Chain A
């Protein structure tokens, strides 16, 4: 069994630590028994926004929490060192310093910076002296269809240059053909290739089509040792949704109940409003509990979310609706 106790990020207290998910043998009976009733899940997701609301100082605190959970991301073909350095600067100082000072969280940073392999070194250098980890998307992201040995090698290369987290993509075809053994084996090898780096398994839920597929793929990836399960690359036609999230976090809950190990969750793509972020946090709090409100077990994969949160925070502090140009671009 591998364990890895993360170094607590000093500016966020109290920190929770937990044993890293070692995985387990593939239990096909369990996989086959998983059910996901789409319309019932959609109803639960649709009523969540009406059931949960945080206001005033609570909302401000929750939005700050959301910032601490963001994997600030750039995954574009036109990324350059300059672009990545600017993003990293924003990661270190996600909100104007005097605002954070007033709010009582002067050292707040985002959860991680997420880039392609070629930008890992740039990002690691730009984040030196901070505790912000660099995450690399890997394994032939986003389609995951490059040669298998190259996909594994890509992981190793990223870890070698300092990526602490690896966001892999699974082979969607294994899910769509019900080849759970192949999915398990693939995930297992990718996890091994990550070594001490944490591995987030991107399911590309928009391409798995059904919630039943999402639930089963979630479970198989956890059995194979995923540290996080993540919805999307951001490149599929449909990215993170609340019904998909509910399905995946129920799988996380069942996995913990059966094995005792906590697995993290990362919705990615399409979460761009502060209000959406609050909804996701409420979902995590209600369905999984407080440990899943910490960066060890929850991240937002987002690029434009931070800007909306900054404006909401300024509104909280000043009582006036804010403007984008008052906040530094990332």
Chain B
């Protein structure tokens, strides 16, 4: 031991250990063995496996490997408890959530120490960041529950929610899943990560003191197989998953066609963009919080540094100096910056990814303890083509490259399959606010990084998943409309008559791609007959290449997304005006195709165009009340390119009901019209042609829904796919969508009243937009 005198000279930091006796005592009180938490009590431990402290390698406790039967028991208990939990009402649930928030605060240090021991993250992070955010999340959702009944009439809980969460923020991710689910009146079966089950079990035990009724929250521990059992269980109504993109893709595939609602918060390779006018020292300090927070084991870690070329050399030199000052060590020490890697398996993954990389590898010159530790690392001089610029490392490894101009920074930032978060550092407010909407991400931090709050939505685009957590937008993922829905009856196409009635000059309906009428690539057409046997015309049978062309045309129309709401409204009004001028003709066409008078449908379609013209400049974003000096904008952005299989019934109104919200929100779309009655759609492109709509914003490909669903759903450059088809395609679409994890909105064979309120409104607008949260801390 050093003497005071020696330390006086060396001015070294000594050990500053946080006590862990209370955490160990809690484990010991359970004899170091835990069962599942089902129906408000622990089951007997069975088929146990060890959970270790990664910093020491020592076994902390044994937890049970959840079997299919365990999951089934938990789901059954959750189901039984759900009705009563919903019926106590929002205000009743608010009191329980408030008590949970208070209990987290009262036991804050125990949670923090246990989290650090199980996960390896520094006690500073669990104590100052994770656990306070957990409490905040329950407080905020107590408020949402209180306001739910008055603010969201007409919505009911989903039912039983299955949650599968990762090891990097064990209790915080529990809060992100459990708080909104409970607030909305659902019950929960949660599977914590195999490496980090302990705080979830402590939380479950403590939840009794909040008056949480038995069975409302159930915890089943185990590995990926247990998670798969939760996902697969038919009694689960909604799955919320946070974890890797590869597992997210499996879950998308596994739940396809099941009717289960799904939100996925997946991986990322988030850009950290530094312009030459940034406060460089602050940007470097930000990197410490971006990539060395939780050892870089953070889905939204700013792991991809893009620095303006002119300052790159100085920036990297300063960064290396800062890295050298980081302190690694015992996560329970109150004086360290970087803790342990969660598990030796993860450590090997990191080592494997860094080994043999191109570029210059710099490891921080800090002391690296023996065991499951990896030093802060910078790999500079990489290019977009480098493997590590694209692949998520999930460790304390920063990769960097340079850019010349803001435009190039955007291109590099978006040159990724992911789209979770981004940081932008500049002292120029014009540049920051220009960049923020252009970067593909669900969250953008200006002159900051890794800011989180329960009020602000968090979630990704592209292969970072879909859905938001936090805010009202997060809560909506745990609610569904109260209205009962009926199965959708498929209208039959009119077969060719024995004797054809052919009148007038032959008319050939084409596909409509990129603002031009196009013949189908395959060269096949189909005759369309009226109910009375009259030949109405032919439509092209589109194929996968027509889909390809239509998607390309839609992307070429990207300027539409930047048009003002006012401008989009004018064009929608103009489409309505031009349709109105030909109302009688369209009504007659609908009558020919369906046998029913079409005038009401045409009127409804015109009205719908006017409705979305009205919405085009009124679907406002929000400014979120985050507890810091910052503006947190929730901005509604277009999804991008939306594909839609339009309803077979209501051939004109159905098509317009999906097209109008999509383009009103700035998307381009590829529409596959009613398969049985496609002619109103092909007539309609003439209306579009005369309405100043830019080429490619709306593309129409006629043909078989079944044929076209697959290339659309599997297309890696389509951002969302909607299906209201009467063909049974929901499962196929959801499964194919797993490729690029595009958002899907499918009918699962259920009908929608296109003439009524269900045919328009906020549900469509929400599907046509992504909420981007832009954090702008301010102050001079």
Q: Which residues of A contact B (CB under 8 A)?
A: 13-14, 35-44, 47, 50-58, 60-62, 64-65, 103-105, 210-212, 250, 253, 281-282, 285-286, 290, 293
A-B contact pairs, 18 of them (CB 8 A): A14-B9, A35-B277, A36-B282, A39-B447, A39-B630, A44-B285, A50-B127, A50-B334, A52-B335, A54-B14, A56-B14, A58-B7, A61-B7, A64-B4, A104-B3, A105-B5, A281-B11, A285-B13
Q: Given A35-B277, A50-B127, decide whether A40 and B447 contact each other with a Cβ distance below 8 A.
A: yes
A41 touches B9 (CB 8 A): no
Q: Given A51-B335, A53-B335, decide whether A35 and B278 contact each other with a Cβ distance below 8 A.
A: yes
**Considering only CB atoms, which chain B residue lies closest to A290 in the complex?**
B11
Residues of A within 8 Å of B6, CB to CB, are 61
Residues of B within 8 Å of A64, CB to CB, are 4, 8
Q: Among the listed B4, B278, B286, B780, which residue makes an inter-chain contact with A57, where contact means beta carbons less than 8 Å apart?
A: B4
State the total of A-B contacts with C-beta under 8 angstroms.
106
Q: Given A51-B124, A57-B3, decide whether A39 and B629 contact each other with a Cβ distance below 8 A.
A: yes
Contact mask for chain B residues 1-24; partner A; CB cutoff 8 A; 1 contact, 0 none: 111111111011111100000000
Chain B contributes a number of interface residues (CB within 8 A of A) equal to 40
**Considering only CB atoms, which chain B residue lies closest to A60 in the complex?**
B4
**Considering only CB atoms, which chain B residue lies closest to A209 in the complex?**
B780
B5 touches A104 (CB 8 A): yes
Residues of B within 8 Å of A103, CB to CB, are 4-5
Instruction: Give 9 nearest A-B pairs by CB, closest first.
Output: A58-B14, A61-B7, A104-B5, A40-B282, A39-B777, A37-B279, A53-B334, A35-B279, A53-B16
Q: Among the listed B12, B124, B779, which residue makes an inter-chain contact with A50, where contact means beta carbons less than 8 Å apart?
A: B124
Q: Among the listed B12, B282, B325, which residue makes an inter-chain contact with A37, where contact means beta carbons less than 8 Å apart?
A: B282
Inter-chain CA distance A234–B283, complex, in Å, is: 31
Residues of A within 8 Å of B12, CB to CB, are 58
**Considering only CB atoms, which chain A residue lies closest to B122 in the complex?**
A51
A13 to chain B, nearest CB (A): 7
| Interface residue? B337 (CB, 8 A) | yes
| Interface residue? B753 (CB, 8 A) | no
Contact mask for chain B residues 621-644; partner A; CB cutoff 8 A; 1 contact, 0 none: 000000001100000000000000
B156 to chain A, nearest CB (A): 41
Inter-chain CA distance A211–B282, complex, in Å, is: 12
Inter-chain CA distance A40–B16, complex, in Å, is: 27
Q: Given A40-B777, A53-B334, A57-B2, decide whether A35 and B280 contact each other with a Cβ distance below 8 A.
A: yes
Residues of B within 8 Å of A290, CB to CB, are 11
B9 to chain A, nearest CB (A): 7
**Considering only CB atoms, which chain B residue lies closest to A104 in the complex?**
B5
B152 to chain A, nearest CB (A): 34
Residues of A within 8 Å of B7, CB to CB, are 57-58, 60-62
A61 touches B127 (CB 8 A): no
B11 touches A65 (CB 8 A): yes
Q: A52-B335, A55-B15 are in contact. List 12 more A-B contacts (CB 8 A).
A: A36-B279, A37-B447, A44-B285, A50-B124, A50-B334, A53-B16, A58-B16, A62-B7, A65-B11, A105-B8, A282-B13, A285-B13
A54 touches B335 (CB 8 A): yes
**Considering only CB atoms, which chain A residue lies closest to B15 in the complex?**
A55
Inter-chain CA distance A212–B286, complex, in Å, is: 18
| Interface residue? B408 (CB, 8 A) | no
| Interface residue? B427 (CB, 8 A) | yes
Inter-chain CA distance A104–B127, complex, in Å, is: 36
| Interface residue? B281 (CB, 8 A) | yes
**Considering only CB atoms, which chain A residue lies closest to B333 in the complex?**
A53
Residues of A within 8 Å of B391, CB to CB, are none
**Considering only CB atoms, which chain B residue lies closest to A61 in the complex?**
B7
| Interface residue? B769 (CB, 8 A) | no
| Interface residue? B448 (CB, 8 A) | yes
| Interface residue? B358 (CB, 8 A) | no
Residues of B within 8 Å of A285, CB to CB, are 11, 13
Residues of A within 8 Å of B11, CB to CB, are 61-62, 65, 281, 285, 290, 293
Contact mask for chain B residues 269-300; partner A; CB cutoff 8 A; 1 contact, 0 none: 00000000111111101100000000000000
Inter-chain CA distance A210–B279, complex, in Å, is: 14
A47 touches B128 (CB 8 A): yes
B285 touches A61 (CB 8 A): no
Residues of A within 8 Å of B9, CB to CB, are 13-14
B124 touches A38 (CB 8 A): no
Residues of B within 8 Å of A212, CB to CB, are 780
B670 to chain A, nearest CB (A): 43
B1 touches A57 (CB 8 A): yes
- A41, A43, A47, A103 interface centre (most CB from chain B within 10 Å): A43
Q: Which residues between 1 and 53 of chain B lie within 8 Å of chain A, taking CB atoms? A: 1-9, 11-16
A287 to chain B, nearest CB (A): 8
Residues of B within 8 Å of A41, CB to CB, are 279, 282
B116 to chain A, nearest CB (A): 13
Residues of A within 8 Å of B335, CB to CB, are 51-54
Q: Among the listed B16, B280, B283, which residue makes an inter-chain contact with A55, where contact means beta carbons less than 8 Å apart?
A: B16
Q: Given A41-B282, A210-B780, decide whether A50 and B128 contact each other with a Cβ distance below 8 A.
A: yes
Residues of A within 8 Å of B337, CB to CB, are 51
A31 to chain B, nearest CB (A): 15
Inter-chain CA distance A103–B778, complex, in Å, is: 47
A279 to chain B, nearest CB (A): 12
Inter-chain CA distance A38–B14, complex, in Å, is: 31
Residues of A within 8 Å of B286, CB to CB, are 40
Inter-chain CA distance A285–B8, complex, in Å, is: 13
Residues of B within 8 Å of A211, CB to CB, are 780
Inter-chain CA distance A64–B283, complex, in Å, is: 34
Inter-chain CA distance A58–B127, complex, in Å, is: 23
- B280, B283, B778 interface centre (most CB from chain A within 10 Å): B280
Q: Given A53-B16, A58-B13, A61-B11, decide whether A37 and B124 contact each other with a Cβ distance below 8 A.
A: no
B427 touches A35 (CB 8 A): yes
A283 to chain B, nearest CB (A): 11
B14 touches A55 (CB 8 A): yes
Q: Which residues between 757 and 780 of chain B lie within 8 Å of chain A, taking CB atoms? A: 777-780
Residues of A within 8 Å of B13, CB to CB, are 52, 54, 58, 282, 285
Residues of B within 8 Å of A47, CB to CB, are 124, 128
- A39, A212, A253 interface centre (most CB from chain B within 10 Å): A39
B5 to chain A, nearest CB (A): 4
Contact mask for chain B residues 538-561; partner A; CB cutoff 8 A; 1 contact, 0 none: 000000000000000000000000
Inter-chain CA distance A39–B631, complex, in Å, is: 12
Residues of A within 8 Å of B14, CB to CB, are 54-58
Q: Which residues between 493 and 542 of chain B lie within 8 Å of chain A, taking CB atoms? A: none
B246 to chain A, nearest CB (A): 34
